């Protein structure tokens, strides 16, 4: 159990989609939570999750609102109502839906990478929200699918122990790093609104969910 909670520089770099050198330099400067065991850096999984959540929540929120146009990355047919208790079932279903978008050219790679990414580190950010996300060369432009779960998904292991009910799955082209971060930040910031989360959970149609998310 302890080994599963400790990450190496390589694992953190893969999760963040940055170079191992960047992670090493952040650790050296104290910019990312880390500790040394002997001469090597190690990272606690919950601390990295919290660090990522904090950075996404605070990353140029005002600019992000202006930059992200939900109607250009999400359509009503990529909104699903889910009824699964396990994250794997929910992720597989949502990834299969996302793979129908014309921007996604390799369905199998998308599904496999979403699951692999989740196995490396939970994408739950608290408040009943998870934002699974990948960047792939087989994706031509950023696209989103949204899942509204009618059942508590109990195995996402969020920091606040609140079962996940809202899933926002993002796939982006590999060269869209900045826009990818903006979109992550956008949804993380908007979903802090308790009224919006409640409205999404009580929505009766995919069109209603879409309208709630497009509305600024």
**C-alpha 165, offset from chain centre:** 14
- pLDDT at position 58 is 55
pLDDT of residue 212: 95
Residue 115 has what pLDDT? Answer: 93
Q: Residue 186: what pLDDT?
A: 87
CATH 3.90.105-classified regions of the chain? 2-58
- CA dist., res. 216 & res. 212, Å (int): 8
**Pick from 26, 157, 21: nearest CA to 34:** 26
Query: For residues 82 and 167, is the Cβ–Cβ distance under 8 A?
Result: yes
CATH code 3.90.105 for 2-58: yes
Find the radius of gyration of the CA atoms of the chain: 17
- Tokens standing for residue 158: 């969020």
Side by side, the strands of the sheet bearing 6-7 are 6-7, 40-44, 35-37
Position 54 scores a pLDDT of 72
| CATH classification code of 64-214 | 3.40.930.10
Q: What pLDDT score was predicted for residue 49?
A: 84
**36: nearest Cα among 47, 48, 24:** 24
Specify the pLDDT at position 3.
Answer: 47
pLDDT value at position 95?
A: 97
Q: How many CA atoms lie within 13 A of 75 on its CB side?
A: 10
Mean pLDDT of residues grouped by 10 in the chain (216 residues)? 72 85 80 83 87 66 61 94 95 96 95 91 90 94 96 88 95 88 87 94 96 86
Q: What is the pLDDT of residue 216?
A: 57
């Amino acid at each position: 159990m302890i080994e599963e909670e400790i990450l190496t520089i390589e694992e953190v770099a893969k999760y963040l989609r940055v170079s191992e050198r960047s992670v090493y330099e952040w650790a050296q400067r104290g910019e990312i939570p880390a500790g040394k065991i002997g001469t090597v850096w190690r990272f606690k999984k919950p601390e990295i999750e919290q660090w990522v959540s904090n950075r996404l929540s605070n990353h140029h929120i005002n600019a992000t609102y202006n930059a992200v146009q939900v109607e250009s990355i999400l359509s009503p047919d990529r909104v699903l109502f889910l009824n699964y208790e396990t994250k794997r079932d929910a992720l597989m279903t949502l990834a299969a839906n996302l793979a129908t978008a014309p921007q996604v050219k390799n369905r199998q790679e998308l599904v496999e990478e979403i699951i692999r990414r989740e196995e490396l580190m939970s994408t739950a950010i608290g408040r009943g929200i998870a934002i699974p996300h990948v960047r792939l060369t087989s994706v031509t432009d950023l696209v989103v699918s949204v899942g509204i779960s009618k059942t508590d998904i109990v195995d996402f292991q969020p920091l606040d122990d609140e079962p996940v009910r809202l899933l926002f799955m993002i796939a982006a082209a590999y060269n869209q790093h900045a826009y990818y971060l903006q979109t992550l930040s956008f949804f993380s910031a908007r979903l802090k609104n308790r009224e919006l989360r409640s409205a999404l959970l009580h929505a009766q149609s995919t069109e209603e969910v879409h309208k709630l998310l497009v509305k600024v």
